[in-house]
Structure 1
Amino acid sequence: MNLHQFRFVQEAVRRNLNLTEAAKALHTSQPGVSKAIIELEEELGVEIFTRHGKRLKRVTEPGQHVLDSIAIILREVGNLKRIGEQYSAQDSGTLSIATTHAQARYVLPTPIARLRERYPKVNISLHQGAPDQVARMVIDETADLGIATESLADYPNLITLPCYEWQHMLVLPVGHPLASKERLTLEDIAAHPLVTYHPSFTGRARIDHAFAQRQLAPRIALEAIDSDVIKTYVRLGLGIGIVAEMAVQGEPESDLATRPLGQLLGQNVARLALKRGAWLRDFVYHFASLLSDRLDKDLILKAMNGQSQDYEL
């Protein structure tokens, strides 16, 4: 048996048992993938997959145990490579970060700049996507770490640690009646067209839940994944906006007013995700500490070793 066979089996499962798609992803031929899987089954003496003709139908019970072992083996192979990189070039390499647009645009610039000051030979690779895509990139080792608010805690293959809390902010044109109202309610907000995030991004689930609890159904005029887009359409008069706190921090925008919504919508927690059992280079630990002073190397190592999964902010 060999690593090629293990990778073929793993990729076949990732591609929903479609060997043609698995072969494309691995830059090889479909017959070659099929043959390698059959040879591994023959060597092990068990069927990893049930078949209908030449098509794979499902993973067998012993096949699931084989897949679990393959995942461990390939993870450790990746760790061996990273150990070599760590000690052959301790201050250089690439840090791959999977994150959402809001984190990449508003939160990460300062930590990335500070990391580059400490490790000038480290290259940064940013991968942006929806929270579930962020999780998948970390699991597939496309990224060393992931940062998002939603979804990350739902994956058992990930260790997730909270970085910081943030709240939503109401954004509206200066002079709008709600801008000067002393005490806002959800009923006040629901009476106006709303411009806010797509349902899978930036705490939108918390927004929907808060309105649902009050039995309110606000009229969503526009959904977007980009806070700057939301602010643009608020300026155009499409409605009032709800954006993440970090999107309105810094220099005030003279044509927009903001109101905090933490008391109405609750607090959100941005989380750091790492693949369970992965070997991390020193600059990954340092970058985590730049995201939150609570995320020191000792705490992360404890979490990665199964001694801790979470802590309170």
Structure 2
Amino acid sequence: MELRQLQYFAKVAKKQHVTQASEELHIAQSAVSRQIHQLEEELGVQLFVQKGRKLQLTPVGKLFLNRVEEILASLDRAVNEVHEFMDPEAGEIRVGFPHSLGIYFLPTVVAHFRKSHPGVKFRLRQGTFNSLIRDVMKGEIDLAFISPFPEKHDHVTGELLLQEELYAILPVGHPLAQLESIKLNQLKDEPFVMFSDEYSLRTIVLDACSSAGFTPKIDFEGEETDTIRGLVAAGMGVSLLPEMALTEISQLHPARVRVVEPQVTRSVGLIHRSGEKLPLVAEVFQRFLLEFIKEMK
């Protein structure tokens, strides 16, 4: 069994298509197919089945993929450790983040860090709460910004960075848009623009509305803060977004109003795998971030 076979297998499993995998690997399609076939022969199992135009993993293929991803992630870490040993200032940091922190916060932190560590590279991965925890557990990323911060978890640990306020966002012409603050139940009869189920901000907003005595009427759902903000600005409803997701000014920008009853906040933290030492360059970034947050407060 060869390393390239495992790499090709993982790529085909991700793309669900040999042609797309071969294009991304810059390898001939026939070579990828041949290596997958040889891997299946060596294992004595079928890893993929054809479903229409896509290849889907068999049950044993899914089991094998989990182990292969762990092996490849460990290899990546080993390579990074060697590079860091030779030159800690030329390492790579693999960081996960939710979209709402990618608009302003993450670019700002990375830009400040790179001023004093210009040789360090970043490999960034956007994800949801559950996918970020999964990627940290699998070792696919070193660190992840996450919200809400998981206070107790069997496989990840970290630091609470900050508590961030959520604002009500309204169309500019809305009757409440000019107020300095509102009570959340003043929005009980409004249509809401909400994140879809897998996003933690949805749960935070639903819980806040419940504590305010109502269940929001959801007319639109989206997966990006830009989409939520744009739909509200276009008059499709109201929503709640964290302050860091409201820093970008565009032609479609809603009004924002502070919510005072109840005040709605989210926790933001930085996590990594429990019981495992971070790569040296990731430790440097972690220390820098904690000092950066102190200066922000």
TM-score, normalised with respect to structure 2: 0.66
**Which whole-Å CA distance do the structure 1 matches of 2:118 and 2:281 have between them?**
11
**Partner Cα separation in structure 2 for residue 207 and residue 219 of structure 1:** 11
- CA displacement at 1:4 relative to structure 2: 0.9
Q: Distance in 1 between matches of 2:144 and 2:84?
A: 20
How many angstroms apart in 1 are the aligned matches of 2:99 and 2:70? 32
Corresponding residue to 1:76 among 71, 74, 77: 74
Higher alpha-carbon deviation: 137-146 or 204-213 = 137-146
Answer yes or no: is the 8 Å Cα contact 1:195–1:223 preserved in 2.
Answer: yes
Per-residue deviation, residues 182-208 of structure 1 (Å, max 9, x unmatched): 872x43122345566566557123213
Which aligned pairs between 1:212-227 and structure 2 lie closer than 5 A? 214-218=213-217, 220=219, 225-226=224-225
Cα shift at 1:34? 3.0
Assess, with a 3 A threshold, how the Cα gap between structure 1 residues 94 and 58 changes in structure 2: closer, same or farther.
closer
> 2 CA distance for matches of 1:243 and 1:6?
42
2:90, 2:119 within 8 Å by CA — same for their partners in 1? Answer: yes
Take 2:128 and 2:189, find their aligned partners in 1: how far apart are those partners? 29
1:159 aligns with 2:160: no
Moved more, 122-131 or 18-27: 122-131
Q: Which residue of 2 aligns with 1:311?
A: none
User: What's the secondary structure of 2:185's corresponding residue?
Assistant: helix
Q: Is the 8 A contact 1:169 1:261 kept in 2?
A: no
- The CA distance in 1 between the partners of 2:164 and 2:57, in whole Å, is 43
* Equivalent position of 2:251 in the other structure: none
User: Deviations for 1:209-230, whole angstroms, at most 9, x for unmatched residues?
Assistant: 4436744334657968346983
Identical positions, percent? 20
Q: CA deviation at 1:6?
A: 1.4
State the alpha-carbon separation in 2 of the partners of residues 278 and 147 from structure 1: 18
**Contact 1:167–1:261 (Cα < 8 Å) also in 2:** no
Name the SS of the counterpart of 2:27 in structure 1: coil
Question: Do the aligned partners of residues 272 and 191 (structure 1) sit closer, same or farther apart at CA in structure 2, a change above 3 Å counting?
Answer: same
The aligned residue for residue 263 of structure 1 is: 262
* 1:49 maps to which of 13, 28, 47: 47
* TM-score, reference length from structure 1: 0.64
Q: What amino acid maps onto 2:187 in structure 1?
A: I
CA contact 2:193–2:221 (8 Å) conserved in 1? yes
Matches within 5 A, 1:98-137: 98-124=96-122, 128=126
What secondary structure does 1:108 align onto?
helix
In structure 2, the partner of 1:282 is: 280
Q: Given residue 4 of structure 1, which amino acid in structure 2 is its aligned partner?
A: R
Stretches of structure 1 that go unaligned for 5 or more consecutive residues are 250-254, 296-313
Unaligned stretches of 5+ residues in structure 2:
248-253
Aligned length: 280
CA displacement at 1:106 relative to structure 2: 3.3
Letter in 2 for 1:40: L
Q: For the residues of structure 2 that align with 1:289 and 1:84, how far apart are their CA atoms?
A: 21
How many angstroms does 1:135 deviate by? 6.5
How many Å apart are 1:244 and its aligned residue?
A: 0.5
SS at match of 1:170: strand
Aligned residue type for 1:74: L
Q: Which residue of 2 aligns with 1:299?
A: none
Aligned partner letter, 1:217: P
The structure-2 alpha-carbon separation of the partners of 1:151 and 1:132, relative to structure 1 and needing over 3 Å to count, comes to farther
Supply the distance in 2 between the matched residues of 1:35 and 1:167 (Cα, whole angstroms). 54
In the superposition, relative to structure 1, how do residues 227 and 7 fare at CA in structure 2: closer, same or farther (>3 Å)? Answer: closer
Q: For 2:236 and 2:22, locate their aligned partners in 1 and report how far apart those are by CA, in whole Å.
A: 48
